Amino acid sequence: MHFVDLSSFRVAAGAGTIRRLTHAGAGVALALLLLACGDRAPSAPATPEVASAASAAGTAGSGNDPYDVSKMDFKTPPAVLSNERHTGAFAAGAALNLEAALKPLDPSPVKEIRLDTTHKIIEIAPGVNFSAWTFGDQVPGPVVRARVGDRIKFTMTNRSDEPAPGVSMTAAPMMHSMDFHAAMVSPQDKYRSIAPGQTISFEFTLNYPGVFMYHCGTPMVLEHIASGMYGMMVVEPRNGYPTKVDREYAVIQSEFYTKLDPEKRKINGQPLYVLDGERVRSKAPTYTVFNGRYNGMVDKPLQAKPGERVRLFVLNVGPSNTSSFHVVGTIFDRVWIDGNPDNQFRGMQTVLLGSSGAAIVEFVIPEAGSYVMVDHHFANASQGAIGIIAAGGAGDPEHHNIPATSTPTDPAAMKAKLAFESKCLACHSIAGGDKLGPDLFGVTRRHDDAWLARWLKSPEQMLQSDPVAKALLDKFKLPMPNQGLSDEEIKQYIAYFKWADQNLQPKGTAQPQPSAAGTSLAPGQTPSGMSGMSGMPMPGQPAGAMEHK
């Protein structure tokens, strides 16, 4: 029997090295050891090339070890706290990125950044105005880009007592702080909470490469993160990444837990939403989103071209749920767990990220098309964790939990909307253009209720005698299968089509199309948004919800 310390186990594999296996990987390592060791004679010594490579990778003190702690900089002066109130820009510094597309690395070895805290109203979904707390006056906060060895000089003023425009006060001023996961500092000194009007400054040197979260660390941390106080810091290796790419984007997944404001305040005529403490504590978000907005990267896709190599910096903020990040239509050529190239996997389909977990994923766009980014926990995708990489070409990306329309307030139409998305969305759109079958926007203007009822009840009989049905078959070549709908379900479908014809306000062909104000539920009030709360009423889904193609 051979006993091995799994906490520092390394296996040489050809020209590469499987580096430190820990936690979940320890079980795999143990299985490999049992198979490899057994009761056999000792293996021949490793070749000098392999032995030297393994030694260089992990021996502390060697000149080639990038993790030699004796060469790291842990010297940080005490944080400076003052009552000086900053009144300028909420976010400042050449290292900051305010959009998903990242700028090249600022070469300066000293990076001065400012991220002030604010309380403001943000729109997290169409018509959903949320009382948020922010870094740099945006959610997520700006992406900080730096490299190993850089000195970060950070300053933050707590400006939570400054009123949000148009609202007397949405949340009481409160203490806030900053916790950089990329820093190695005393939390009691650098991450202390400061009062409204106070300013804190501190500095530190970046010692490890990775994609790191930053967030407010003031109790209760759960509520501060759920209110929007988080962001990403990208720390490149000292000599840069080993690959060259054409596009770089930051994708930050997070959860919102909302309820209507008990005081019934409104913003520009729309209801105000505030943090729902019960949902936060029960891990039942109303929205799970990329970069702070429900389906935001569907409305504004990331851009790429066929043949290009794309690098995504992906962070799952949480604060409580996991992410299974996936891009439909390609494979992750390289995955660097926590954003460190030394933690490399090849040829992965999905990356599992816990709260505050991150990865860099790289892939090639094989051909023209719309490549859907999605949390493969599809309940999360249905709450808004979805986006598109637009690489040219025509065609609908199917739905992948992109809804057909917003959700009607009418209960009968709401039920039919759910059924339509389960049974019909692969073949039809509503104001999104023809697919395998016709676009159904305007169908109640083209046909009366009696015709629609016959068509939904027995399409195969209509094809034998009805000239309009025959013309549809001639155009689309595929007969509509009989869905076995009850008379009640047919009434619900017609109610949904009438609602869409009366209330949708199409803009282009992107799905879902917007509807008139007050005619649909906010996304967080839809069945997918309510599904995490036990005891909350939900409309029933019709039986037989199988997609046909």
pLDDT at 33: 41
pLDDT digits (tens, 9 = 90+) for 211-230: 999 999 999 999 999 999 99
Is 401 part of a structural domain of the chain? no
Is 159 part of a structural domain of the chain? yes
- What CATH number should be reported for the domain holding residue 431? 1.10.760.10
Q: Are residues 63 and 102 in the same domain?
A: no
Q: Are residues 95 and 220 in the same domain?
A: yes
Is 378 part of a structural domain of the chain? no
Give the chain's domain count: 3
* Structural element, H or E, at residue 210: strand 210-215
- What CATH number should be reported for the domain holding residue 94? 2.60.40.420
Is 262 part of a structural domain of the chain? no
Is 398 part of a structural domain of the chain? no
pTM value is: 0.75
pLDDT at 102: 98
- Contact yes or no for 513/405 (Cβ under 8 A): yes
Q: Are residues 107 and 170 in the same domain?
A: yes
Q: Are residues 88 and 63 in the same domain?
A: no
- Contact yes or no for 441/504 (Cβ under 8 A): yes
pLDDT at 79: 98
pLDDT at 423: 79
Q: Are residues 24 and 87 in the same domain?
A: no
Q: Are residues 431 and 477 in the same domain?
A: yes
Q: Are residues 15 and 86 in the same domain?
A: no
Terminal Cα distance for the chain, rounded: 57
Domain end, chosen from 195, 229, 253, is at 253
Q: Are residues 154 and 238 in the same domain?
A: yes
pLDDT at 394: 65
Is 162 part of a structural domain of the chain? yes
Closest CA to 122 of 133, 108, 106, 136: 133
Query: Who contacts 180 (Cβ-Cβ below 8 Å, separation ≥6)?
Result: 152, 154, 204, 212, 214, 233
Q: Are residues 90 and 238 in the same domain?
A: yes
Q: What is the largest CA-CA distance in the chain?
A: 86
pLDDT at 517: 77
| C-alpha pair distances (Å), 83 with each of 92, 106, 156, 173, 193 | 20, 31, 12, 16, 13
User: In which domain, by residue range, is 29 found?
Assistant: 6-71
Is 63 part of a structural domain of the chain? yes
Helix locations, 194-238, DSSP H: 221-226
- pLDDT profile of the chain (549 residues), mean per 10: 39 39 41 42 39 37 80 96 95 97 97 97 90 96 98 97 67 92 97 97 98 97 97 97 98 97 88 94 95 91 97 98 97 98 98 98 96 93 92 66 77 83 81 86 93 91 89 86 89 91 83 78 56 35 30
3-state SS string for 99-149: CCECCCCCCCCEEEEEECEEEEEEEEECCEEEEEEEECCECCCCEEEEECC
Rounded to the nearest angstrom, the gap between the alpha carbon of residue 44 and the centroid of all alpha carbons in its chain is 48
Assigned token pair, 504: 């949708």
Residues facing 447 on adjacent strands:
none
Q: Are residues 66 and 104 in the same domain?
A: no
pLDDT at 436: 82
Q: Are residues 507 and 422 in the same domain?
A: yes
pLDDT at 63: 65
pLDDT at 60: 40
* C-alpha span between 353 and 347 (Å, rounded): 17
Q: Are residues 14 and 110 in the same domain?
A: no
Domain end, chosen from 209, 225, 253, is at 253
pLDDT at 372: 94
Closest CA to 201 of 215, 213, 191: 191
List phi, psi (to 5°) of 93.
135, 140
Domain end, chosen from 231, 253, 275, is at 253
| C-alpha pair distances (Å), 36 with each of 2, 7, 32, 43 | 10, 18, 6, 10
Is 313 part of a structural domain of the chain? no
- Contact yes or no for 135/214 (Cβ under 8 A): yes
